[in-house]
């Protein structure tokens, strides 16, 4: 079992990694396996698994009032990680978010993951829940990912929240954090966002994975700004191929990113859903080839449980 940073430092050639979204509650675990199997042909050194907050829904009662319900839509991280580990010979990088959890809950999750033999964590803040305008930490929860990174590093030193734990077992987590080539939507400007990214690195993050982008120049500018700010850890570009016309609206809304006009025009000119899919796949292939030509250490693909296009892209680019 390897740490991502060791893999990044030891691999002589760039590699592809994949991010999976756990299936919805009630689906068969085979569905999860089915979205991993096609990716195994590329021998990924690890697979990222996202983590999702409970969602809030308002259900209409017979008397016309609404009841607020908190719903867990997907199985928990621990179960997903255990299921994948039982089936595949691949390292897992579970995403751990601050949102919805107290410090104690987060620490327990990290201890469980350590017991499961996990050596890598992607540390994130998470977003606001439905109905909340801005992200709000739980009472005694973390407000920023840098605080979560700090907790992980304390556990790596054997320091637990409970002060009565003496000579606690040290975890040995390698930590990834998120970076935003087009700025995180809450940050006042790019400079302050990069300073906040630097805080995560100073708190102990080993590497950065970026938000998706569709114009590689944004990524190159971001890497340059990070280096100028003194961030020296590896930066892995994150890519997602567009597969439907709806995503032209959905992706900027959900992820606060731009889609270049050239790509939008090509997608709109496409005559069928298949042609749209092909345009998105080819654009991402070109992005991948260009990134590899610029010497990136790896490319992180957001699969969103759809793997056909990703397999085509990796086959044509690596
Ligand atoms: P932070 O680093 O805390 O930053 C959030 C905002 O606060 C930024 O604007 C930053 O500039 C600012 N900030 C940071 N530190 C400070 C500080 N000390 N003082 C003041 N301002 C500060 N979400 C999920 O729910 N589940 C996932 O599995 C998931 N996986 C992701 C994977 C990747 C690769 C990426 C790029 C994003 C992922 N996200 C996921 C989305 C992420 O949770 C959101 O983008 C979230 O809004 C910010 O998370 P963060 O970890 O970057 O937060």
238, pLDDT greater than 90: yes
- Ligand 1 mean position to 282 CA, how many Å? 29
Tell the residue nearest (CA) to atom 26 of ligand 1: 51
Write the pLDDT tens digit of every residue in 139-149. Answer: 999 999 999 99
CA-CA distance, 255 to 177, in Å (whole number)? Answer: 16
- Ligand 1 mean position to 13 CA, how many Å? 29
Q: What are the domain boundaries of the chain?
A: 4-317
1, pLDDT greater than 70: no
144 lines ligand 1 (CB under 6 A): yes
72, pLDDT greater than 90: no
| SS3 at position 91 | strand
Which residue bears the tokens 């995560």?
Answer: 200
51 lines ligand 1 (CB under 6 A): yes
97 lines ligand 1 (CB under 6 A): yes
Tell me what the mean pLDDT of segment 35-61 comes to. Answer: 90
CA-CA distance, 141 to 230, in Å (whole number)? Answer: 29
Write the pLDDT tens digit of every residue in 180-200. Answer: 999 999 999 999 999 999 999
31-35, 53-57, 285-289, range with greatest mean pLDDT: 285-289
238 lines ligand 1 (CB under 6 A): yes
Please provide the average confidence, as pLDDT, over all residues in the chain: 94
- Ligand 1 mean position to 276 CA, how many Å? 30
CA-CA distance, 93 to 7, in Å (whole number)? Answer: 13
CA-CA distance, 279 to 269, in Å (whole number)? Answer: 10
Report the pLDDT value the prediction gives residue 73, as an integer from 0 to 100.
75
Report the pLDDT value the prediction gives residue 285, as an integer from 0 to 100.
98
For a pocket test of ligand 1, which of 20, 99, 101, 124 has the largest count of ligand atoms closer than 8 A to its C-beta? 124
Cβ atoms of 2 and 45 closer than 8 Å:
yes
Greatest alpha-carbon span in the chain: 66
For a pocket test of ligand 1, which of 75, 113, 178, 254 has the largest count of ligand atoms closer than 8 A to its C-beta? 178
Write the pLDDT tens digit of every residue in 203-218. Answer: 999 999 999 999 999 9
| SS3 at position 123 | strand
* Higher-scoring residue by pLDDT: 24, 186: 186
Of 3.20.20.220, 3.40.250.10, 3.10.50.30, 3.30.1490.20, which CATH number belongs to 4-317? 3.20.20.220
Residue 46: φ, ψ to 5°: -160, 165
For the chain, the helix, strand and coil percentages under 3-state DSSP, each to the nearest 5: 40, 20, 40
* Ligand 1 atom closest to the CA of 95, numbered from 1: 28
CA-CA distance, 299 to 71, in Å (whole number)? Answer: 33
Identify the band that residue 304 occupies on the pLDDT scale cut at 50, 70 and 90. Answer: confident
């Amino acid at each position: 079992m390897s740490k991502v940073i060791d893999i990044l430092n030891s691999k002589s050639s760039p590699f592809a990694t994949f991010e999976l979204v756990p299936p919805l509650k009630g689906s068969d675990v085979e569905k999860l396996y089915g979205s991993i199997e096609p990716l195994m042909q590329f021998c990924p050194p690890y697979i990222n698994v996202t983590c999702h907050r409970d969602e809030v829904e308002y259900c209409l009662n017979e008397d016309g009032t609404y009841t607020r319900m908190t719903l867990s839509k997907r199985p928990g991280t621990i179960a997903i990680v255990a299921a994948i580990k039982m089936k595949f010979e691949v390292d897992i990088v579970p995403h751990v978010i601050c949102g919805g959890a107290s410090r104690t809950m987060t620490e327990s999750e990290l201890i469980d993951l350590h017991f499961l033999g996990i050596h890598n964590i992607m540390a994130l803040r998470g977003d606001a829940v439905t109905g909340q305008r801005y992200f709000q930490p739980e009472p005694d929860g973390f407000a920023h990912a840098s605080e979560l990174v700090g907790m992980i590093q304390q556990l790596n030193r054997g320091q637990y929240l409970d002060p009565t734990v003496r000579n606690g077992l040290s975890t040995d987590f390698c930590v990834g954090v998120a970076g935003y080539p087009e700025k995180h939507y809450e940050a006042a400007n790019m400079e302050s966002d990069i300073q906040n990214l630097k805080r995560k690195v100073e708190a102990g993050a080993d590497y950065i994975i970026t938000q998706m982008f569709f114009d590689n120049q944004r990524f190159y500018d971001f890497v340059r700004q990070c280096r100028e700010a003194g961030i020296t850890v590896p930066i892995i570009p994150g890519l997602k191929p567009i597969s439907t016309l709806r995503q032209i609206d959905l992706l900027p809304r959900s992820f606060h990113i731009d889609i270049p006009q050239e790509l939008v025009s090509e997608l709109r000119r496409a005559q069928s859903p298949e042609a749209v899919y092909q345009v998105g796949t080819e654009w991402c292939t070109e992005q991948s080839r260009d990134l590899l030509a610029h010497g990136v250490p790896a490319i992180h693909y957001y699969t969103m449980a759809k793997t056909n296009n990703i397999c085509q892209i990796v086959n044509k680019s690596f």
